[in-house]
Amino acid sequence: MPSILMIDDDDDFSGLTSEFFTRRGYRIELAAGGRTGLAKVAAAQPDLILLDIMMPDMNGIEVLRELGSDYDTAGIPVLVMSSRNIDEGMQKMFAQERNFRGFVPKPPNFETLEMKVAGLLRGR
């Protein structure tokens, strides 16, 4: 069963996403912030991470850099989720990070998100 860690401080959105993926056979773990998410990654490495950009303790780019700087977590694919418009400068900044595999708008089309997740997991 593939495992997903969702790092997002929006409890309602995390709950909906968790329910969607759980019903489709994924094991999903939730973390309400960047620091908690990094601790969960260190304890049990997920197959994929869904990461919010804007969180109160660490932003998404900080989390990505931490993941990419650790040999044990540098290969975990990360989809970055945001309700904000992603401009060209932000796209370039994220694209430089080792784990980054793409942006997903919030709220997503869950079927499209699942296709992206499945594609990334097949590539591992």
- Per-residue pLDDT tens digits for 69-91: 999 999 999 999 987 777 788 88
pTM of the model: 0.94
CATH classification at residue 66: 3.40.50.2300
Position 124 scores a pLDDT of 66
Do 94 and 104 meet the contact criterion of CB atoms below 8 Å apart?
no
- The mean pLDDT value of the chain amounts to 93
How many distinct structural domains can be found in the chain? 1
The parent domain of residue 84 ranges over 3-122
**Terminal-residue alpha carbon distance, the chain:** 14
Integer angstrom CA distances of residue 108 from 25, 57, 70, 99: 19, 24, 29, 20
